[in-house]
Structure 1
């Protein structure tokens, strides 16, 4: 007599699974329900169910050890359910020696398949039958096999690892795989960042046929969903490898997506050998970067980055070393920023964003593109600062003129020295920016001040000339008439009219 206990805090979840058991005709003799841990303990003691399907989230921390002990004592087959597709939940399942881990929302086909197997295994145990010499607990194909260092009857298998760019979409991927028409139904082990699929190795399977299967699965996924997916197929003839070692090699191979991007299928039959590179720039490369940044040569910078990081071929550089090399280049850009006083504000925030991108973005070409966009922003900002700096030079010179216009010996050389520029460069820049020569600007300032003094004071023409930097009254009157169209005396008399 086989008994199933369905334990979940949600009444609808319990009822739904019970309904599926009856609808699919899974031959459990009794289906029991529990909504609290107290109910679970009581049913385990009184009815001794053979299979327990329990929600991990309903087990309080203080009851965890007690529950484990009861499971060990009564030797039930455990199926755990959760809404969290995390490594922590997977490890809890391992700790309970769970046969399977279901991620809510449940797939009806997966429930039917798993419970039917469990019911069949329990029936054979009751009849004293061993199935093909295998462990009837079916734990051979479980989280134990990929995390714990022991060999099992599941070692002669091949693996399919599937990883979404957006890991929070994994329940959707799990449901897709549970309903997918595989030739051989795999064991699916959801982890926090991927789903591990374990298949029984068949003689007709070759790496070519497995790749075709992977491409077909990827195509079927993309016809239904938009989330980018990456696949790694691992198969080997090396019988010395445990399933755990195969999983570790396959997981390492997931880093190939760093170079290929998502929507790719990688098929491997050995441990991936990464190329070891020097992650730091040589002195020559540092000088080259200083020159490229100083020249603001965008095309040369882009070609350097493309040649260095894109279109890589096997054996690929070790991804960690490549990220370090990118940060080494970023350090050169940082020095350029500091030398141009750009290490603040929006650009400083963008710098830290690029640093985070280098460390954590899973795709190399995205890192390179983000890096280049940042470089262009740095160069644009540096150019604006340089132009602003030139404007500042003119403003400083104008202030100097306004403070010293009353000096009849004021010279271009004096103003150029004040802004720390050569007379020739300063004169050229002044004419370019203001459209006037130094002498014209000085004269304009002097005439403007002379007009004010003529209108607002009773100073003599001679005194006005002296106070505004003219050598004598005659020269002052001559220049004043040239610029205003009237003599100083006529200009003053207009006020009286």
Structure 2
């Protein structure tokens, strides 16, 4: 006598799930429908359904406590549905001790599998529904995400598998659930991957170390879409939550290694420290390479900088920031040739999105290099037709030659093929500052970097930033920064 309640704002969704249950002949004695939270709580209290399919998106904060109380009191098993794959929705599912998390649109086979399993467990009098084997009965989604939910010192190994195409997640989930493991894991389908939790013992560890390659081989025999994975097998005991966090960190290694691989990690992930931003010297190098139009040199720089890493790798988020720092220099170059418009501007934004969201590093590098070729080709045309932004070209020249103590407005004006008076007026109008003020800012900015990052003397720094007189340098530094160079270094 198992009852099912389907609570969803969309009548088509409610009726559709009810029709699927009937067409698959899952013998629920009663299927109840609710279109809002008030109806849901009322039916929970009156009918006490054993299984509830609940749309989380219709739950308002003021109704949450009442709903949670009613579900905990009357329903044995809860399946949640949502159109929003967010952390908040995942936490709500955990608070309700949900058996399954459905992301709309839901596959009919998934509805059939879950509701058949729920029916069977209620019918057989199961107190708690789980994928887990008896010796893992304490494990749950909550123990995966929250520290301290599982006591004891059992070492847990975690296998995380992620498809390159998010649309293949359900296929991957079914593959794992049907896979014949020698030592059955607890299986936790997540919003973007599948987690398998194993008890790690001396007897099963050799098998687990071979499992990744065996599983990957069978997947590729049946599917064309690539997957990536990491198998975290800690040498020392950790809580399930700690092991999950380490495995999730380690999964980012595939940003460097690509898909079609499963990496075994037996120690906590270590990330190499890097500066996520280009140094002033690197910025000048990039402007110089762009101005020279040498794509081969730019390609060599990108490959040398980003495609030669070995473990320990830099943290992917910092590396993405570093590449956006490069894109900022390309942006400045585009402005100097009036290229920041039209199709090239659209391409620029596509590359920016690629840097932020593409899952594999070498593809990001490839996207950037293709964009650079297009930028350089367009710049060559504009150079021939003398279509340039004189102000940007002048600033770039100043940044490249500020170390010259004899750098003058006349030299810069000659480089951009304009008269000194015209260039001076242009800088004042577009930048709001005089040539001398702009040059001082460039020099003092470089001096600040040298004071922070080197042990060079004040005299040496003055010379390297275009000041032949150290006293004059110190005076200009204090006027610009507010403190003397020595005080600035002491307070770093």
- Scaled to the shorter chain, the TM-score interval is 0.5 to 0.7
Instruction: Quote how far apart the aligned CAs of 1:133 are.
Output: 9.3
Q: Bigger radius of gyration, 1 or 2?
A: 1
Q: Which residue of 1 aligns with 2:219?
A: 221
Distance 1:113 1:213, change over 3 A: farther
1:209 is aligned to 207
Matched, 1:273 2:274: no
SS at match of 1:122: coil
Correspondence 1:260 to 2:264? no
Q: CA deviation at 1:316?
A: 0.2
Following the alignment from structure 2 to structure 1, what is the Cα–Cα distance between the partners of residues 157 and 373? 47
Does residue 374 in structure 1 map to residue 371 in structure 2? yes
After TM superposition, the structure 1 = structure 2 runs for residues 50-89 of structure 1, keeping only pairs within 5 Å, are: 51-56=50-55, 60-61=59-60, 64-74=64-74, 76-82=75-81, 84=83, 86-87=85-86, 88-89=88-89
Tell me if the contact between 1:7 and 1:36 (Cα under 8 Å) persists in the aligned partners: yes
Q: Is this contact kept in 2: 1:164–1:228, CA < 8 A?
A: yes
Matches within 5 A, 1:57-456: 60-61=59-60, 64-74=64-74, 76-82=75-81, 84=83, 86-87=85-86, 88-101=88-101, 104-105=106-107, 106-107=109-110, 116=120, 120=124, 122=126, 138=137, 140-152=138-150, 156-206=155-205, 209-239=207-237, 241-389=238-386
| C-alpha distance 15-283 of structure 1, shift in aligned 2 (>3 A) | closer
Is the Cα–Cα contact under 8 Å of residues 78 and 96 in structure 2 kept in the other structure? no
Q: Deviations over 1:113-154 (max 9, x none)?
A: 5654565563799xxxxx9898xxx5x322211222223159
Match of 1:13 among 14, 17, 22: 17
Equivalent-residue separation in structure 1 for 2:21 and 2:185 (angstroms): 22
In 1, distance between residues paired with 2:333 and 2:177? 54
Gaps of 5+ in 1: 24-29, 126-130, 391-419, 422-497
Give the CA RMSD over aligned residues: 3.6
* SS of residue matched to 2:244: helix
Q: In the TM superposition, what is the alpha-carbon distance from 1:89 to its structure 2 partner?
A: 4.0
How far 1:313 moved relative to its partner?
A: 0.7
The unaligned stretches of length 5 or more in structure 2 are 7-12, 388-416, 419-492
Q: Distance in 2 between matches of 1:309 and 1:265?
A: 22
Contact residue 56 and residue 81 of structure 2 kept, 8 A? yes
Change (3 A) 1:250 1:133: closer
Contact map agreement 1:161 1:196 (CA 8 A) in 2: yes
TM-score by length of 1: 0.65
Structure 1 residues 151 and 184 mapped into 2: Cα distance closer, same or farther (>3 Å)? same
> For 1:320, what is the secondary structure of its paired residue?
helix
Alignment size in residue pairs: 372
Aligned counterparts, 1:443-482, within 5 A:
none
